[in-house]
Structure 1
Amino acid sequence: MNTVTLTVKKAPELFLECEKVNPDAFVGKTADQIAQLPAFQGKEISTLGDYFTVAGDAGATAAETRIVINGDCTKMKYIGAKMTGGEIIVNSSCDMYTGSWMTGGKLLVKGDVHSFSGLAMKGGEFTVEGNAANYLGAAYRGDWRGMSGGVLRVKGNAGSDAATFMTGGTLIVEGNVDIHLGTHMEGGKIILKGNANRRVGGQLVKGEIYVFGTINVMMPGYKPVGEVDLDVDGTKAKFIDYIGDLGERHPKRKGETVYGHLYMKK
């Protein structure tokens, strides 16, 4: 795998849109060619070379390309957005839309990410070692298609409205979350190892939510149906099984109603 190293040499005055910082855009390019790729700050068109020093040439395919980013990326958006393969390692925090719409590859952020990161993610592995802000793995504003595949793991906390309209994939938050986790969920799996504020699984139709900690206020549309022993992300424990959201219309399979499940660790 070929490695391209980007080192921040100048911070943007506003916010830099880095849609071209992904293995797909780098394929087959030399360091000089990568430096000429466009980046946007408001209406101003710049190049990656205006903000980064570039070292190393890309591979022949996205899968053969690794990007390592050093320096402060807290005002840089869209890093890893729409990537289909390869690998990105960011040794910093990032701004909005990091890893959004990605369909493959591996993205590691060794800091925090801002709102709308992992938006409508379809595949790949996205790991955040710090915290995530609002709308993690959610749907784009006005859309009804959230995260549908891949694995998105946050080792810290997440904000509000994570996994809104989720239909597939796995979201793991090892810390705490704010309100509206898994709203309008129609599939997929959420694993929360910390605590949730309230309104978890509102209008959930299908899918599974596992909560290791507490929920400040449980939604009224959930009914306990028993206890189960489960192995969740490497932890074996007993969980209380709730079905819901009972206020929603649920599909039927072979004559039986299909519910979502909310599992609370005892």
Structure 2
Amino acid sequence: MTEGVLINKMTETGKSAGEMEEVTLIPNKAIDIKLEADVITPDSFAGKSAEEIGMLSVWQGPTTYPLSDFFEVLGNAGSSAAETLIRIKGDAMRIKRIGEGMSAGKIEIEGSAGMHVGTGMKGGEIVVYGDADSWAGMEMLGGLLHIKGNAGDHVGCAYRGKWHGMKGGCIIIEGSARHQLGGGMDGGEILVEGNVEGFCGIRQNGGLIVVKGGALRTVGVEMAGGTIVVGGKIQRFSPGFEFVSMENKVTSGETEIIGEFKKFTGDYAISKRAKGALYVSADANPEL
């Protein structure tokens, strides 16, 4: 499988860091109870001084505290979200909802990120230099979420009790991801350089998922639309898919992936009118 086209197309994000005002957050103490910090977005910081940013509220359990109780805040934000870069210098695995709903600008996390990073983001860019906990990019609408390590469960997924997950934007995971990647996905693109575990693309309705490694089981189960490409071995193949043809190219929107694939459609176990397309590496899955 080729790598360059998809990644290069997805990393076009607008303003460069050199054109943005930078706010640096430096953790100043260990965090025991996890923080709910959906205020850490360029939208919330825009137009504010370091002192004003420090006074923004975060939740810890049932109590609110100023952001400055947990971070040293350096630098003033830009006049708009698009002109604001937030840099978290340290691990943020115990900080939830960073970048939630952001519309523009950039966040760089120089460590790992807690649950719900990039949830519902509409635009801009988030780069996580470590791992990301579960629910990264949940119900994402636009923008780029780039995770340089591994990701947990439910990336780009629908929330509990909902049917529709990610609708737009792009998620790149340079490592591996766990269960239910892209569950309920309606649009957008997810690229995983490594492997996934169970239920990748469960209830997928649209969009593109590319897994360059292998998958454990139930890829595309209950899928009604969209495209999944798996470049490695699928350990347990779902029975509701029917073989269609051999293909040497997968095209989805502006994205093109080259390789030798077996194309299946389904999941017919859930609907005879299903239009999901599942492309599986022919070399890695000779028994299918």
Partner of 2:105: 86
- Structure 2 counterpart of 1:149, from 168, 176, 180: 168
Q: Which amino acid aligns with 1:190?
A: I
Note the C-alpha offset of 1:47: 1.0
**Equivalent pairs, count:** 260
- Structure 2 counterpart of 1:107, from 126, 133, 145: 126
Distance 1:71 1:22, change over 3 A: same
Secondary structure, aligned partner of 1:178? strand
Runs ≥4 in structure 1, deviation > 6 angstroms?
none
Secondary structure, aligned partner of 1:127? strand
* 1:264 matches 2:275: no
CA displacement, residues 65-110 of structure 1 (integer Å, 9 cap, x when unaligned):
1111101211110111111100000001011111111010000000
Partner of 1:241: 263
Unaligned 5+ segments in structure 1 are 252-257
Partner of 1:158: 177
Partner of 1:126: 145
Which whole-Å CA distance do the structure 2 matches of 1:234 and 1:15 have between them? Answer: 41
Which whole-Å CA distance do the structure 1 matches of 2:250 and 2:263 have between them? Answer: 14
Note the C-alpha offset of 1:60: 1.1
Partner of 2:186: 167
1:131–1:155 Cα contact (<8 Å) kept: yes
CA displacement, residues 169-202 of structure 1 (integer Å, 9 cap, x when unaligned):
0011111111000011110100001110000000
Partner of 1:96: 115
Partner of 1:25: 44
CA displacement, residues 41-84 of structure 1 (integer Å, 9 cap, x when unaligned):
10121111011111111111111111111012111101111111
1:11–1:75 Cα contact (<8 Å) kept: no
Note the C-alpha offset of 1:235: 5.1
Which whole-Å CA distance do the structure 2 matches of 1:137 and 1:250 have between them? Answer: 26
1:59–1:65 Cα contact (<8 Å) kept: yes
Unaligned 5+ segments in structure 2 are 1-19, 283-288
2:249–2:256 Cα contact (<8 Å) kept: no
Note the C-alpha offset of 1:229: 1.6
Secondary structure, aligned partner of 1:247? coil
Note the C-alpha offset of 1:238: 1.8
CA displacement, residues 129-185 of structure 1 (integer Å, 9 cap, x when unaligned):
011111111001111110110000111111111111000000111111110000111
More strand by share: 1
1:12–1:41 Cα contact (<8 Å) kept: no
Partner of 1:225: 244
- Structure 2 counterpart of 1:62, from 66, 74, 81: 81
Secondary structure, aligned partner of 1:24? helix
Note the C-alpha offset of 1:13: 1.6
Which whole-Å CA distance do the structure 2 matches of 1:240 and 1:200 have between them? Answer: 14
Partner of 1:48: 67
- TM-score, normalized by length of structure 2? 0.87
Identity of matched residues, %: 38
